[in-house]
Every structure is written in structure tokens, then in C-alpha cells.
Amino acid sequence: MHEPALTEAADQAAGKIARAMEQDIAFGRLRPGQKLPEEELSERFAASRHHVREALAQLQQSGIVMRERNRGAFVRSFTPADVLEIYEVREILQRQAALRIPLPASEAAITALQAIQTEHDAAVQAQDIQHIHRSNDLFHAELFRLCGNGQLAQLVKHYMDLTYVIRADSFAEASSLELSRCHHQLMIELLRGRDSWALAQLCVEHMQPSKERYLRALVHG
């Protein structure tokens, strides 16, 4: 009879651990490739191994954590070649999705995007890393959904999820967040016009700062 409440409590505990680790990654306290021993995490969060495993499973589903047999869990990392290849695919997908959005977009679509961006701005103001990440990705999911091709929109989202660790640093830096906010607002304005090429180019340029930032970090160790 009480099992659902216990399950809900367990989910909340795991979610709290996942959010804390997500912030650690965004602020550089957990680095790409760093191991995540369950015992240490249990001690740190004063939580059961079950809650820690569930938190790691949530982060794995988001593409933030990798788990391998006989190696355990660790923060996902990429080589420079990985980054370049993944972002080349992202550029192709996002450019084509943007070019397929009928312009001008409907007022309902623009209103929905503006509402998400308002939430994003509030998250930035509150320095809520998880909400910044979620509202940012929701903005892009809603934008590319307008392309009218569900499979293409899903592929765009898959590659965004794959690059969370690459993008994470930008969620904690004020200048990066401000640039992202300006890009989002300009995308909304471009949806009111008819210049598909300008919209597509902005969608490609929008992802470059996080890519270059991650590559510089790899170069400097």
C-alpha cells in the first residue's frame, strides 16, 4: 500500500544526486573521464547504493555518464576527433532541419518558443544549471520540431543529448549564457521572416562556441 510513496521518495533521492553531479560537471568539479565509484558517492551524499545507481542510470540516459563492464561508471569524455565528427553531424542535421521550417512560422509556434525562452532567462538569472540545461534543450526541441519531419527532429535531439558534456561548461559561464540567449532571441525573430538560410546558419553558428571551448580544454589538458 505504501510502496508507491517509497518509490517516489527513492526517485526524488536519486534525482537530487543526479542534479548535484550534473552541476559538478557543468562547473568542472567532475571532469571528462573521471571515475564515479558508487561507494564514494554513497558516502558523499549519505545515500544508499541503490539511490546512487539510479542517479548514475539517469545520467547515463542523458549521455553524461558512461558505464562499462569491469570499469564502472565515469564521466563521458571525447577525443578531438570524436568532437569534430559529432559536431559535423550536428551541423548537417540542424542546418537541414532549419531549412525545412516553413517561414514565416505561425504565431502560436513563436509564442510557444518565447515562453520557453522566458523560462530559460529565469533559470539563467537564478543560476539553476539543471533548469538552464532543460529549458535550453526544450527550446531547440520545439524549434526543430517545426521542420515537420519527426525522424529528423529526433536525430537532432539525439546528437544534442550526446554532446551534453561538451556543452556543459557553457551553462556555468555568464558570457556564454548571454550569447546563447541572444542567439535564441534572434532565432525567434528570424522565424517571423522568410530568410531560411539566415536561420539555418545561425543554428550552426550557435553550437560552435561550446565545441571550440571543449577542444581548447583538451589541448590544454
CA 98 to chain centre: 19
CA distance 73 to 34: 9
Residue 3 has pLDDT above 70, yes or no: no
Question: All domains of the chain, ordered by start, with CATH?
Answer: 3-75 (1.10.10.10), 80-219 (1.20.120.530)
DSSP state, 172? G
Q: Which of 164, 189, 198 is nearest to 77 (CA)?
A: 164
Q: What value does the mean pLDDT take over residues 137-141?
A: 96
Per-residue pLDDT tens over the stretch 19-29: 899 888 877 78
Residue 88 has pLDDT above 60, yes or no: yes
CA distance 85 to 79: 10
CA distance 93 to 51: 36
Averaged pLDDT of the chain? 90
Say what the pTM is: 0.80
Tell me if 94 sits within 8 A of 156, measured CB to CB.
Answer: yes
Per-residue pLDDT tens over the stretch 34-69: 999 999 999 999 999 999 999 999 888 877 899 988
Tell me if 117 sits within 8 A of 11, measured CB to CB.
Answer: no
Computed from CA positions of residues 156, 157, 162, 166, in that sequence, does the dihedral angle turn out positive or negative?
positive
